[in-house]
């Protein structure tokens, strides 16, 4: 297993963009997963358009993934372009499907993905929850577009699975990962995936206090994960 990044999801207006930038300098493997939802924009975990505009000023200095949720996700599946103007500077898009079956127009969906590719999206991520999401992944996989799976049985609820999936293809893992168990979790994932495949982990609930991103917890988690990615370093917060 080759762990090449750690995604911290759910930064919002309560978090200064400068903090994300500082952590990105110290931990170059960190990726910030930004949640996009038309209905929830400007609420906890879903930043406002103004915050996103500030983030865009530093987009070339951070690893950013856009996690598309709710009606914007459903728009994407049927080919509606309702949010692409917000995605400049993002390198990856994660399609958060949840444990539901959604209407998908395969032709228009593929066309939308190709347009997103043209504005700089390098990789598409499909959230897999049990069997949900496999059909959408196959639709993308049938094209020449780069696509990977993200195995998440918790849907951002912070529930750790009893076992981690096996994959021979690049993929991500999430669910119940926090600053206290990250080393143990990575060990479990590496045991289940002992071959040399590119992976990443994603945490959202596990690095929060009162539903707000806590940078002390983020620091502890990234410090522990660094041992799996690069030479041990000093913690950012001393």
Q: What pLDDT does residue 238 have?
A: 60
Q: What pLDDT does residue 185 have?
A: 96
Question: How far, in Å, CA of 45 to CA of 43, rounded?
Answer: 6
Q: What is the mean pLDDT of residues 111-122?
A: 95
Rounded to the nearest integer, the mean pLDDT of the chain is 92
Flag the least confident range among 28-32, 109-113, 153-157: 153-157
Query: CB burial class (10 A; 0-12, 13-18, 19+) of residue 123?
Result: middle
pLDDT at 195 over 50: yes
Q: Which domains does the chain have, with CATH numbers?
A: 2-229 (3.20.20.70)
Q: What pLDDT does residue 196 have?
A: 82
Q: What is the model's pTM?
A: 0.94
Q: How wide is the angle at C-alpha 156 spanned by C-alphas 125 and 8, nearest 5°?
A: 65
């Amino acid at each position: 297993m080759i762990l090449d990044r750690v995604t911290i999801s759910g930064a919002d207006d309560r978090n200064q963009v400068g903090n994300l930038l500082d952590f990105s300098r110290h931990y170059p493997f960190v990726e910030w997963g930004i949640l996009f939802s038309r209905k929830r924009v400007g609420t906890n975990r879903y930043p406002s358009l103004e915050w996103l505009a500030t983030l865009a000023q530093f987009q070339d200095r951070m690893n950013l993934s856009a996690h598309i949720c709710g009606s914007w996700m459903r728009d994407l599946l049927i080919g509606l372009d309702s949010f692409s103007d917000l995605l400049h500077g993002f390198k990856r898009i994660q399609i958060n499907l949840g444990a539901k079956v959604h209407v998908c127009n395969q032709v228009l969906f593929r066309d939308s993905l190709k347009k997103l590719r043209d504005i700089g999206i390098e990789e598409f991520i499909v959230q897999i929850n049990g069997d949900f999401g496999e059909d959408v992944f196959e639709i993308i996989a049938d094209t020449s577009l780069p696509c990977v799976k993200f195995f998440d049985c918790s849907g951002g609820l912070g529930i750790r699975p009893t076992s981690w999936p096996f994959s021979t293809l690049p993929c991500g893992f999430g669910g119940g990962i926090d600053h206290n168990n990250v080393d143990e979790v990575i060990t479990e994932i590496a045991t289940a995936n002992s071959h040399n495949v590119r992976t990443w982990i994603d945490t959202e609930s596990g690095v929060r206090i009162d539903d707000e991103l806590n940078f002390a917890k983020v620091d502890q988690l990234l410090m522990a994960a660094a041992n799996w990615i690069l030479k041990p370093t000093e913690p950012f917060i001393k």
